[in-house]
Amino acid sequence: MDGGLKMSNRFVTASEDDTRALARELAADLAAGDTILLIGDLGAGKTAFVRGLAEGLGIDPGEVTSPTFTLVHEYRGGRLPLIHVDLYRLDAADLDEIGLDADLAAQGVLAIEWAERLLRELQGALRVTIQDSGGDARRIAIGPG
Ligand code: ADP
Ligand code: MG
């Protein structure tokens, strides 16, 4: 975790495309075992951000959906596998109990929506906080988890 977007940074994006571009840029800095904690209200743009991560890793972003009934989605075919977790339906979650393949996560990038619902802190994770600031503007803060 050094250099590039992985250092603490604040951004304002003006569109979903902007947010995806930011996530694409971040994806270039990611390595196996990296975890992205996504924090933000419904409609903030967490899933949009994950689509950008997918694109940046060389995965078809069309594969990335909001996993309404599936808590964990795995997307392969890119530079690294992307494991997408969405905890929206849970009040509190333990990663060991939701069917996450820890070995696969260690080999890929783990992106967790509603990460504030995790019961245990994840060491070394990167936190991406997205706030709706009116219209299509979003404030995005990237920093240590
Ligand atoms: P979440 O996963 O946080 O609930 P989504 O990514 O599913 O949110 O949805 C975000 C919605 O907000 C989409 O409809 C998207 O088009 C819209 N949107 C508008 N402006 C932005 C922006 N700057 N960044 C991301 N999404 C945006
Ligand atoms: Mg979502």
Model pLDDT, residue 7: 67
45 CB under 6 A from ligand 1? yes
Distance 119 CA to ligand 2 centre (A): 19
Q: 66 Cβ partners below 8 Å, 6+ apart?
A: 47, 86, 88, 113
Question: What are the DSSP calls for 12-71, one per residue?
Answer: EESSHHHHHHHHHHHHHT--TT-EEEEE--TTSSHHHHHHHHHHHHT--GGG----SS-S
42 CB under 6 A from ligand 1? yes
Distance 40 CA to ligand 1 centre (A): 10
10-residue stretch averages of pLDDT, the chain, 145 residues long:
69 98 96 97 97 98 80 95 94 87 94 94 93 98 93
Structure-token pair, residue 116? 């504030």
For residue 115, give the DSSP letter: G
pTM reported for the whole predicted model: 0.95
